[in-house]
Amino acid sequence: MKQSTKSMEPRRAARLFFRIGIVLVAANLFLGLEIHNGDTMEPTLQDGQLVFFKKERYSLNRGFPDQGDIVVVRPHAIPGLQEGSPIRRVAGLPGETVVISDRVVELGPDEVFVTGDNLRMASERAEDSSAQIKLGDIKGSALVILWPLSDIGAVKK
């Protein structure tokens, strides 16, 4: 006996929604979204851009990001960050010495140094745009700008 087309439609819709749900759950496990606020990363990122990032857990055992990578950092990890985005560029790796403005920063084996790309702002508010952070405070690495649509594309390293 052949089923009618109308009775098949709810099953197809249910399967489609189930599949979409599985994809969204899987994407949430491995990917994240962050809205970039402020001018700390100009010209690489502009205020209001939506950035898609790959969630990663860095540590001494799991490795660390490369110098120059753009990463999403937990906001509390950047001292003095009142508003704005926790997206920064890795400027120093574990065990390195970083000289910025008038200070020398010795990085421990589980620390990296991150900074914004905006050189004009970096000299005015260096404490808001750069920080010595633990590897565990990095949420992931920036991949793609999703919004606005006119800027869609890979994040330039």
E-strand spans in the chain?
31-35, 50-55, 70-73, 87-92, 97-100, 103-106, 111-115, 131-134, 138-147, 153-154
Lowest model confidence (mean pLDDT) among 33-37, 43-47, 75-79: 75-79
DSSP symbol at 133: E
pLDDT tens-digit series, residues 58-103? 877 777 888 899 999 887 777 766 565 688 899 889 988 888 777 8
* Omega cis (within 30) before 148: yes
Calculate the CA 157 to chain-centre distance. Answer: 13
- At 121, phi and psi to the nearest 5? -70, -35
d(CA 122, CA 156): 19
pLDDT of amino acid 7: 58
Query: Domains of the chain (ranges plus CATH)?
Result: 33-154 (2.10.109.10)
pLDDT tens-digit series, residues 103-119? 888 898 889 998 888 86
- Tokens encoding 131: 């920080």
